[in-house]
Amino acid sequence: MLKKEAGRLYLEEGHDVIAELVYTETDEYYDVTSTYTRPDYRNRGLARDLVDEIVEMAREDNKKVQPTCPYVAFAIRDSSYDDVKIK
């Protein structure tokens, strides 16, 4: 289940965090500093789901995404994210 708290999006299974995305929010953008998925849950698209959520948040809040995290930079590299990514 996707959960949100200030500076963090995460997925839980039971009471265990299985994936998370950490960000800092400014008036203009979300600076995504890290993503992590537990090894036994990798290759299921969970990190991508979290990236999609922060992108949706940015669009709803009229903000940009600063992809400090290398995974996020890779995930939003194509032109469909040009409206939200800081280049």
For 20-64, how does the pLDDT look when each residue is reduced to its tens digit (9 = 90+)? 999 999 999 999 999 999 999 999 999 999 999 999 999 999 999
Report yes or no on 44 lying in a domain: yes
Report yes or no on 86 lying in a domain: no
Q: Tell me, what CATH number does 18's domain have?
A: 3.40.630.30
CB 83 within 8 Å of CB 58: no
Report yes or no on 87 lying in a domain: no
Q: How far apart are CA 63 and CA 34, in angstroms?
A: 18
For 4-32, what is the mean pLDDT? 97
Q: How far apart are CA 87 and CA 78, in angstroms?
A: 12
Q: How far apart are CA 13 and CA 62, in angstroms?
A: 31
Per the structure, the count of domains in the chain is 1
pLDDT at 1: 85
pLDDT at 52: 97
Residue 84 pLDDT level (bands cut at 50, 70, 90): very high
pLDDT at 9: 98
Q: How far apart are CA 67 and CA 73, in angstroms?
A: 5
Domain of 24 in residue numbering reads as 2-81
